[in-house]
Amino acid sequence: MLTRLKKRFQLWIASDAKLAHNIGFTPNHVSATGMLFAIFSGLAYWNWQFHQIISIMAPILLLVSGFCDALDGAIARIYAQTSTFGGFFDSLLDRYADGFVLCGIILGGLCHPFWGLAALMGSLLVSYVRARAESEGIGMESVGLTERAERLLILVIASFLSFVWLEALSWGIVALAVLANLTVLQRVIHFYRASHHKK
């Protein structure tokens, strides 16, 4: 759903992309930087309850990671640095980033382990289903309720809400688990229908 807005956002951050490029950053460098911020975010979620500053930094670091996810695409587009490996590398690091953040939330005791694991599996499968379907020539972009941008937004909003409502992040993980796995189902149905039309 937010994939189209992400493309518009990449246009808005063209100046940031030019600055990053002039410094010497390639899309792969930015992708790797985004994953590092996700790792730090996951560690902050893991240690959420030890200090208020840590709990504030967790969603902020996650937002920076999401910004990098948009910035690498903007650099690749503006400077014609797209490549098959770049797309593969970016997708791989996104999966690691999702895993680190959700594992941090689970290990930090910020949600019920069942819902945390369900959210983790759903998030990974959303991307797997897309990759598998597109390898068969069936597009999946914008199919389903929660692509990566929506999932990050749910976590960030729930994290900030938790400062005034302690259970917000826990319920955010429940929502993420339900919506991510529903998205998997939507994509399976889309693939089933599209593959039958191709016959």
63 and 40 Cβ atoms separated by less than 8 Å: no
Any catalytic annotation for residue 94? yes
From 62, 66, 68, 67, select the one nearest 41 (Cα to Cα).
62
Burial category of 161 from C-beta neighbours within 10 Å (exposed 0-12, middle 13-18, buried 19 and up): middle
3-state secondary structure of 151: helix
Q: Can you read off the two tokens belonging to residue 67? A: 């910004």
CA 99 – CA 168 distance, rounded (Å): 20
Nearby residues of 44 by Cβ (< 8 Å), 6 or more positions away: 54, 55, 57, 58, 61, 104
Catalytic residue, chosen from 72, 90, 94, 98, is 94
172 and 159 Cβ atoms separated by less than 8 Å: yes
8-state DSSP, 50:
G
Burial category of 112 from C-beta neighbours within 10 Å (exposed 0-12, middle 13-18, buried 19 and up): middle
36 and 96 Cβ atoms separated by less than 8 Å: no
Q: Which residues are catalytic?
A: 94
